[in-house]
Amino acid sequence: NAGVTQTPKFQVLKTGQSMTLQCAQDMNHEYMSWYRQDPGMGLRLIHYSVGAGITDQGEVPNGYNVSRSTTEDFPLRLLSAAPSQTSVYFCASSYQPSSGGAETQYFGPGTRLLVL
Amino acid sequence: GESVGLHLPTLSVQEGDNSIINCAYSNSASDYFIWYKQESGKGPQFIIDIRSNMDKRQGQRVTVLLNKTVKHLSLQIAATQPGDSAVYFCAEKSGNTPLVFGKGTRLSVIA
């Protein structure tokens, strides 16, 4: 299994440009999430999905859109990039064990985005 | 609102010593807590978790302690090695709500 993959690894945008950060997982996980990580801020949840066709907002959703048309893919769209969106973006997937055990998140390697 | 936080942003330890990373939480309804390790340039990796009805859980060289009375969680790493240098995050999970992460503690191992 490749686990969670993210593309691109690095991206430079100009203010106002739009782009899509790709995320895919091959573990058939129900849950997928997008986080941004800024220095000293830890991981902040942008959007998440509990299954195909279902998405919800996290802590910092403004300026981002998501969709979940398949179990495998969960792209994150920046509609009009702003310098405040300069960050490292992590995608994660997880599942809830039927035994009631802990949900474990698997993170991708991250996308480093710079908005000028 | 509920939050997960950390007492110390940085921790330096000598190689071979034990490390203790602390975390405070405020959600008394949390079902379980998880520790993640993030090495430079990589995504966070699961280390160990503990259910809220437990006080202690041990893994390989790591032990997590949970004190529900004072809402405190700690990660103990035995015989710390250079490869343990990373940022460590605690996170809490409650019901079907998403994981809530703390801000992280940077562990630096001095050879």
Read off the pLDDT of residues B13-40 as tens digits, 9 standing for 90 and up. 999 999 999 999 888 888 899 999 999 8
In whole angstroms, give the CA distance from residue A39 to residue B47.
22
What are phi and psi for residue B16, nearest 5 degrees? 100, -20
Average pLDDT across chain A, whole number: 93
Which DSSP helix (H) or strand (E) runs through B57?
strand B56-58
3-class SS at A85? helix
Q: Which residues of chain A make contact with B93, given a CB cutoff of 8 A?
A: 102-103
pLDDT at A97 over 90: no
CB pairs under 8 A between A and B: 48
Å between A60 CA and nearest CA of chain B: 13
Query: B48 has which bridge partners?
Result: B35
In whole angstroms, give the CA distance from residue B50 to residue B35.
9
Q: Which residues of chain A make contact with B45, given a CB cutoff of 8 A?
A: 107
Q: Which residue of A has its CA nearest to B33?
A: A102
Smallest Cβ distance to B103: which of A33, A40, A104? A40
Smallest Cβ distance to B43: which of A50, A104, A107? A107
Read off the pLDDT of residues A22-43 as tens digits, 9 standing for 90 and up. 999 999 999 999 999 987 778 9
The average pLDDT across B49-64 equals 94
Q: Which residue of A has its CA nearest to B42?
A: A109
Q: Give the total residue count for chain A.
A: 116
3-class SS at B83? helix
In whole angstroms, give the CA distance from residue A46 to residue A36.
7
* Residue A109, preceding peptide bond in cis (omega within 30° of 0): no
Q: What is the pLDDT of residue A103?
A: 75
The torsion of the CA quartet A80, A83, A88, A91, rounded to 10 degrees, works out to -20
Lowest-pLDDT choice from A91-95, B48-52, B96-100, B103-107: B96-100
Tokens linked to B103: 């801000």
Quick check: B50 and B23 in contact, CB under 8 A? no
Q: Which residues of chain A make contact with B101, given a CB cutoff of 8 A?
A: 35, 42-44
User: Which of A91, A105, A111 should we substitute to test contact with B (largest number of B Cβ atoms within 10 Å)?
Assistant: A105
What are phi and psi for residue A108, nearest 5 degrees? -80, 180
Q: Check A104 against B46: CB less than 8 A apart.
A: yes
Q: What is the pLDDT of residue A95?
A: 81
The torsion of the CA quartet A77, A80, A81, A85, rounded to 10 degrees, works out to -70
pLDDT at B4 over 60: no
pLDDT at B88 over 70: yes
In whole angstroms, give the CA distance from residue B73 to residue A10.
35
Å between A18 CA and nearest CA of chain B: 24
Q: What is the pLDDT of residue B7?
A: 46
Q: Check B43 against A108: CB less than 8 A apart.
A: yes
